[in-house]
Structure 1
Amino acid sequence: MTTVVPIESAEAAASVRPGRIGVLLVNLGTPDTADASGVRVYLKEFLSDPRVIEDQGLKWKLVLNGIILRIRPSRKARDYQKIWNNARNESPLKTITRAQSDKLAASISDHDHVVVDWAMRYGNPSIRSGIEALTAQGCDRLLVVPLYPQYSAATSATVCDEVFRVLAGMRAQPTLRVTPPYYDDPDYIEALAVSINAHLSTLPFQPELIVASFHGMPQKYIDKGDPYQAQCVATTEALRRRMGLDASKLLLTFQSRFGFDEWLRPYTDKTMEQLAKDGVRRIAVVTPGFSADCLETLEEIAQENAEIFRHNGGEQFAAIPCLNDSEAGMDVIRQLVLRELQGWI
């Protein structure tokens, strides 16, 4: 007997054929423009996130809207202007993240059913636009890649929060995976060591020591259970072992403190000042908590902290670039993505 398949059933069967796989690289964010208006929009979104500022009560809202968003945007805009990619009219973080996405796509192009895109947690392109673009291309599986080597609720977790918010409004949700932090991944540690040594070999001086500066956070966040500090320590210890350096030759510090709370110590800027006063004349700084150069590395470290060091007696200062879209850096991202796509490709 011949079985007749209803037209509706045939159409339904066609609609559930396996689709494509989307890979979404996500970094922190950037203003759209290097002026006070653009920075104000960015800071408002960033500082209104309860993962970043946990107490979003009335007092904070008054401080944010009445003081911070009136004063800080102009000052930070001047900092952005120092590092702005004028050719593209965008921040270096956006330029580099796009390049990372393009190079990842090229490196896994043999998997023709995998589509790579990129987004920012704050600012543009947004996570929502990234997910919508990938699903529009037929992606029914999604790998989100937070580009933070160390996990923190204020970085990796808030990426997931936003992804979940987007998915919550979707009738046909893609199946979701999220890459884990890679703070002690051997490929990552090796890439850092190779990058540091390569850059040191180009310097006209030999640093007396290296400072590994990570983005800071309020101490109370760690006290509540955030694993970030422990993972920064693990990265630094693994890097020391790989490079054959002890704690006196590869220091761990934390930068970018904000507000009046106690933040993770030792502070990078205070360390720069004290090292110079103690007679250290030549140093190099690496930033292993950042996957791409941004305001915090290009302006805060390479300019502001360099000036602090020199002002207090230091003579030679080198800021070592992040892994960015270098061959070593892209190999870390590619290996991470391919590992987490196992079973899908």
Structure 2
Amino acid sequence: MRPFATVRATARAPVIQVVKTSVAIIVSWLICAPLLSQPLPVFAAIAALLVMQPSVTQSLSKGIERSLGVILGVVLAYGAGLLFGHSSFVVLILIVVAIVLSWALRLSPGSANQIPISAMIVLAVGGGDNPAYAAERIIETIIGAVVALIVNMAIVPPVQVAPAVTSVKRLAAQVAESLDALADALMTVTPRDQLSAMLTHARSLRPLQKSAAEAISNAEESLLLNPRSAKHRAQLARLRDLLSRLDVLVTRAIGMTRAVHDHYDAGLPQEPIAASIARELTRAAHDLRLLAEIATASEKAPSPTVVEPPALTSPLSVAAPHPEHWILIGSLLEDLRRVREAIIDEADS
């Protein structure tokens, strides 16, 4: 394991995020220095640094957390300074009291950490018994938080729809690939190691499903309080609807693959109904790719003049299968019915 692997992110933050954070710190510093006659308005700079988040909603949340933590920390420091002075023992006891107070109030980690930090800084510089100093630190923090929020809204507010599109498209493609693999296994004799690989691939759909859900949640959060949200909401609604269908399809794909893996034998492809199920699985994969293409299309993309019709339309005639296969065939038919319902309703709309 590399020594510093745990302290490095997998990807750098966008350059625009670095620029916005720097601008927020500079502006809040330049406002507070003359306004409060404070040559080193570090509370404002720290507030701007922490409040600047990838989305406006997160910035608002961090601003509230930061401001609440500073207010409580400064008030505690002021009271402790008046009553007990500024000795190191008082600072230590105040830190413990701040931690216990945060726990008792069930505050979020942002506010809980800020209370003892603010209290320590105020007592350390000797302003714990000065009401003007305490009030200025609160004002300074609020200015830094407000500036960061305004800068985040004004300079290219980030929209996280593109990662959501990528995640949902990847999930849909992998589900379709699993359905195609099942179809191949039902039409030709498949070795055991290939069946195991199919099952492993099907089970890998769960992490992709979770990632897609998180990406859509991040996209929805990025659109809150975002002036650019209107032109993205329709596409995001389509993604959310497609993901709800993919949730069903992931469960069906895993279940069907596990059933085939556990009950497969060389005689299964000889069953007449197996070939029919395979054709329907191929059509399901086709229609899923079609739905994903429609749902993930950008609002700016030109609409196709001819929409390809869904392929999952053929009824099945079921003959009595071999006694060793009837449980597996029945299970596949029921799963196929649910796959059909998850896809065809969207195609008909």
Coarse TM-score class (shorter-chain normalised): under 0.3
Q: Which has the higher strand share?
A: 1
Normalising by structure 2, report the TM-score: 0.19
Q: Highest CA radius of gyration, 1 or 2?
A: 2
Q: Which has the higher helix share?
A: 2
Normalising by structure 1, report the TM-score: 0.20
